[in-house]
Structures are given as structure tokens and as C-alpha cells.
Amino acid sequence: MNSIILDPAVESRLASVANLIGDTPLLDLACKVNGISVRVLAKHEMANFTGSVKDRMALHIIRRAYADGRLKPGDTIAEATSGNTGISFAAIGRVLGHPVRIFMPDWMSRERALLVRSFGAEIIPVSKEEGGFLGSIEMADAFAAAAPNVFRPQQFSCPSNPAAHETSTGPELEAQLRKLNVVPQAFVAGVGTGGTVMGIGAHLRKAYSGITIHPLEPANSPTLTTGHKVGTHRIQGISDEFIPEIVKLDQLDSIVQVWDGDSILMAQRLASELGLAVGISSGANMLGALQLGEKLGEGAVVCTVFSDSNKKYLSTDLCSAEAVRDDYMTPHVELEGLAVHASAGI
Ligand code: PMP
């Protein structure tokens, strides 16, 4: 990857920050769901530079944009994001000396906005009345059209987003699985931009002929199934208000649905029983993996990602008592053991 960068100063800073991104450990969870043994293997993405899976995408988009001449030293990076992407661009932008402007829906957790600001980036809050997620994309586009030297990463449509996962997360996961002599039967990931599920999915399909690749959405707000915004949910980072351009449902297997309350309960249990302080979307991905595993049957092996930590959700329902409902899966799950496998160092 290093050879595509021309400017030596930029190259050296990118190479430095790249040492803090990717090569994440693999969490190996022995579980039972309704008495059926399921092995869930999850990439531990909070181990990245700013604590989320989105660092991979931000780094790759910036690298490619420098290589293509679309981004130059001193340019402003302007992006529309519900949170983790803003934190990643703000931090990596700071490493490279770029001003960063983040357009963010104003109902996202307070921690996210404070983190973006802590990296010296500017936040433009966008209210529901101003158009929410779609409004923030339009506002970022309008800013870029009106001001000179603005770079728009366009995470919802940029091919470098899934490519980041196809060239890093996917091969890392495969190398870790091969070391363990494990063949995965399915992969599932909640869809924000879709970069994770499309990119890792593309790599795993090449590596394992029988594998199925599943996008996940909140059952409370099934945008992928319906094609538009419907309902509300509390799994920050996934299911915005539209199906992103990156997502090609015809290249994916069935859509998995989980309830947001169930995801909160599972994320709470991962922390309190195994010491894995993950965010709500990780709880959702864990449930998605268990749902698929239960269908596949005894001894199933399902892979996923734990996208970030609980630190950005301390002021949210993740840290309050969540009511259990009859149709939730979490009460039927036993978390029997955790092993952690180091990065395969590829
Ligand atoms: N979980 C969290 C916490 C996220 O921030 C994101 C990114 N929006 C996702 C999951 C989904 O990742 P992707 O954008 O690659 O679909």
C-alpha cells in the first residue's frame, strides 16, 4: 500500500498512523443458544487508533485520494457521519494536518460530538428538521461546492470504503481462521455504509466457497428490507435512513434482523460476563451471529465484527436497565468461554 503515496512527508505520517490501524485480535466466543453450541469469531475493532472499525476505511480513503491527487496537503476534509467516521477522519486528519469539518445529526450521543471536537475538528449539527442523515450529506456537498480545496470522502458511495475491508479486515480474518484450522459457515455485519459487510464479504467469498454473507438491520427500523426509513432504533452506527450505494443486496444472502433492546442486553452481558466492553452494534452483530448459528445447527461457526467499545455510549440506554421482552434472544444465550487470538500479522 505504501508505494502509492508520492509525497514523502505525507507518506511517512500515513505509514506511522497505519501502524495503529488494523491487525486486530480475533475474539473466539463459545456460546449456547437454546442449548445449541455456536462458535462466534469476532474481529476486535475497538483496538484500532480511535477505537472503531471506521479507522480502516478513513485511512484507506485518504491514502487513495492522495494517490489519485484528489486530496492535497492543507485541504479541508468534510464528511457527513453519525459518529465513528467523524472521529476517524478528525484524528487521522489531525495527524496529517488537515482541517476537518463534520456534519452530524444532532441526536447522536454527546460523547461522539465531544470526541470529534477533541481532535480540533468542527462539528455542524444537523437537526431532523434540516433533513437528518440525508440533510447532513446535502450540507457537506453544498459546503464542498462553495469552498475551494475541500475533499469529500463520501463514505456511503466511495469504493475505497469496502476496499479497505476487502484488503485488510477480510484477509486478516482469513489468516486468523486458517491458523485455527477453522472454516466459517457464515459472516454477518450490521449495515451503516455497508463497507464492512460488502468488503469482508467479498474477500470471504473468494476464500471459502460455501460461506454465506448476511447484512444485519434493526428489527425496529428495517431499512434494508423496506428500502426506506421506517421506525426508530438505538443501534447507533447502523441503519441510517436509506440503502447506501455501496450495499448490493443482490450480492448478499438473507438480511438478519435483531431488536435494539436485545442488542443492548447482549452488549451488557458481553461486558459484565466476559469483560468485553463493546458498543451496541457489537451486541447486535453477536445476536445476528447466534441467530445464524442456531439455524446452522450444533457446532456452527459464524464470524462477525465487534465494531467499537462502550465508551461512546455511557450516556445512552446501554448503561441503563433494559426491559427483557419475550421475543428477545439474549435470555436464551449462555456465554461459556472466551479465547483471544492475536493478529496474524499480515
Ligand atoms: N457499528 C458502528 C458502531 C459504526 O459506527 C458503524 C459505521 N457507521 C457500523 C457498525 C457499520 O459499519 P459500516 O459503515 O462499514 O457498514
pLDDT (tens digit, 9 = 90+) per residue, 105-130?
A: 888 778 888 999 999 999 999 999 99
Residue 122 within a domain: yes
Query: How confident is the model over 21-67, as pLDDT tens digits?
Result: 999 999 999 999 999 999 999 999 999 999 999 999 999 999 999 99
Residue 27 within a domain: yes
Q: How confident is the model at residue 108, as a pLDDT?
A: 76
Residues 44 and 102 grouped into a single domain: no
Q: Whose CA is nearest to atom 3 of ligand 1?
A: 237
What is the value of pTM for the model shown? Answer: 0.96
Considering the chain, what is the average pLDDT of its residues?
A: 95
Give the end of a domain, one of 91, 126, 151: 151
Distance 6 CA to ligand 1 centre (A): 30
Residues 70 and 91 grouped into a single domain: yes
Residue 2 within a domain: no
d(CA 326, CA 154): 40
Residues 301 and 174 grouped into a single domain: yes
Question: Cβ distance 307 to 52 under 8 Å?
Answer: yes
Question: Cβ distance 139 to 228 under 8 Å?
Answer: no
Residues 213 and 327 grouped into a single domain: yes
Residues 117 and 214 grouped into a single domain: no
Residue 3 within a domain: no
Name the residues annotated as catalytic: 54, 281
Residues 43 and 187 grouped into a single domain: yes
- One-letter amino acid at 50 equals T
Res. 103: pLDDT tops 70: yes
Residues 12 and 107 grouped into a single domain: no
Residues 326 and 212 grouped into a single domain: yes
Pocket flag, ligand 1, residue 63 (CB < 6 Å): no
Residue 156 within a domain: no
Give the end of a domain, one of 151, 172, 204: 151
| CA-based nearest residue to 280, from 291, 295, 268 | 268
d(CA 42, CA 44): 6
Query: How confident is the model over 187-236, as pLDDT tens digits?
Result: 999 999 999 999 999 999 999 999 999 999 999 999 999 999 899 999 99
d(CA 274, CA 31): 12
Q: How confident is the model at residue 220, as a pLDDT?
A: 96
d(CA 230, CA 248): 20
How many structural domains compose the chain?
Answer: 2
Query: How confident is the model over 262-315, as pLDDT tens digits?
Result: 999 999 999 999 999 999 999 999 999 999 999 999 999 999 999 999 999 999
Mean pLDDT of 324-342: 98
CA 252 to chain centroid: 17
Distances (CA, A) of 83 to 72, 107, 175, 322: 24, 11, 30, 23
Ligand 1 pocket: which of 52, 278, 307 to mutate (most atoms <8 Å of CB)? 307
Confidence label for 4 from pLDDT (cuts 50, 70 and 90): low
Pocket flag, ligand 1, residue 167 (CB < 6 Å): no
Residues 112 and 246 grouped into a single domain: no
Q: Whose CA is nearest to atom 11 of ligand 1?
A: 192
Pocket flag, ligand 1, residue 246 (CB < 6 Å): no
| CA-based nearest residue to 256, from 208, 211, 289 | 289
Distance 7 CA to ligand 1 centre (A): 31
Residue 220 within a domain: yes
The CATH number of residue 265's host domain is 3.40.50.1100
Give the end of a domain, one of 118, 151, 184: 151
Residues 125 and 270 grouped into a single domain: no
Residue 110 within a domain: yes
Neighbours of 104 (CB within 10 A): 23
Pocket flag, ligand 1, residue 238 (CB < 6 Å): yes
Residue 228 within a domain: yes
Res. 322: pLDDT tops 80: yes
Distance 28 CA to ligand 1 centre (A): 21
Provide DSSP, 66-83. HHHTSS-TTPEEEEE-SS
Domain range for 34: 8-48+161-341
Pocket flag, ligand 1, residue 268 (CB < 6 Å): no
Ligand 1 pocket: which of 158, 169, 238, 263 to mutate (most atoms <8 Å of CB)? 238
Q: How confident is the model at residue 264, as a pLDDT?
A: 98
Question: Cβ distance 80 to 137 under 8 Å?
Answer: yes
Residues 94 and 43 grouped into a single domain: no
Q: How confident is the model at residue 2, as a pLDDT?
A: 44
Provide DSSP, 299-327. TEEEEEEE-BBGGGGTTSGGGS-----TT
Look at strands 26-33 and 300-306 and give their pairing.
unpaired
d(CA 25, CA 325): 33
Query: How confident is the model over 134-158, as pLDDT tens digits?
Result: 899 999 999 999 999 999 999 999 9
Confidence label for 240 from pLDDT (cuts 50, 70 and 90): confident
Ligand 1 atom with minimal separation from the 312 CA: 3
Question: Cβ distance 183 to 208 under 8 Å?
Answer: yes
Distance 321 CA to ligand 1 centre (A): 24
Distances (CA, A) of 165 to 22, 64, 172: 10, 14, 9
Query: How confident is the model over 62-95, as pLDDT tens digits?
Result: 999 999 999 999 999 999 987 899 999 999 999 9
Residues 133 and 194 grouped into a single domain: no
